[in-house]
A and B are shown apart, each in its own frame.
Chain A
């Protein structure tokens, strides 16, 4: 397998729905109303309900584990929230290799909305199997 700095990994496009936000609220145990109550979300100056930051982190986790498969182990993973995302708009997860050090590969990962805004940014380190 060739791993080259600058190489993009296959993008993952997710299609979040309000149903998914409720599913995630239940699975995570995060019942903050901005994720499922439209009136409440608007009352705190949001355009409507928004995606959980951790749901977007999970999408980026899937981006990396889908690409990596059984070829190695995810050693570290980090995300920061830069903007909001709303259900009904596709969420595109992307990543590229930024460093190759033997079996250790560092990736830059990010999630972008349909306008190309990077609303989540992060990094991941994987260790390839010997």
Chain B
């Protein structure tokens, strides 16, 4: 069960962003990624498949003792080889849910990915749970 102080500490970080990280989509890395996921679609020679951005820029802030529960992507445009992507992550929400097995703490991270033209190409929402 999450202690009140842990909840308060996490809540105090809502809206807090870590320093943005930038990376360029390289053909070689994209190829290694699509080989790793085993997706042979030739479209991915030049364009990034749906989950690629998490591999390009480590997305969520790591949180000790919390386990990954899920991820969601909201897409704003294609990501292509040569694009320069800047990712900015923040804690978006922290809430507690009480179920049959006790209290669970949900931590929602959001990461915005913006390309070199200032276009938001994706917003990632990651959910972690602390038991």
Contacts and interface: CB of A to CB of B under 8 A. Distances in A.
B70 A29 contact: no
A96 B54 CA distance: 26
Contacts of B49: 58, 61-62, 65
Given A27-B33, A28-B36, A54-B51, 20 more contacts: A20-B38, A26-B36, A27-B32, A27-B36, A27-B55, A28-B33, A29-B55, A55-B37, A57-B71, A61-B39, A61-B50, A62-B41, A65-B39, A65-B43, A74-B75, A77-B51, A77-B73, A78-B125, A79-B72, A81-B68
A4 interface: no
Interface of B: 29, 32-33, 35-39, 41, 43, 49-51, 54-55, 58, 68-75, 125, 127
B36 to A, nearest CB: 4
B54 A54 contact: yes
Interface string A30-48: 0000000000000000000
B73 A78 contact: yes
A62 B71 CA distance: 16
**Contact size class for A?**
20 to 34
Interface string A41-73: 000000000000111011101101110000001
A129 interface: no
22 contacts: A20-B36, A23-B32, A24-B37, A27-B55, A53-B68, A54-B55, A58-B39, A62-B49, A64-B50, A65-B43, A73-B75, A76-B72, A76-B75, A77-B50, A77-B51, A77-B73, A77-B75, A78-B70, A78-B71, A79-B71, A80-B127, A81-B68
Interface string A78-121: 11110000000000000000000000000000000000000000
A78 B69 CA distance: 11
A2 to B, nearest CB: 24
A1 B76 CA distance: 25
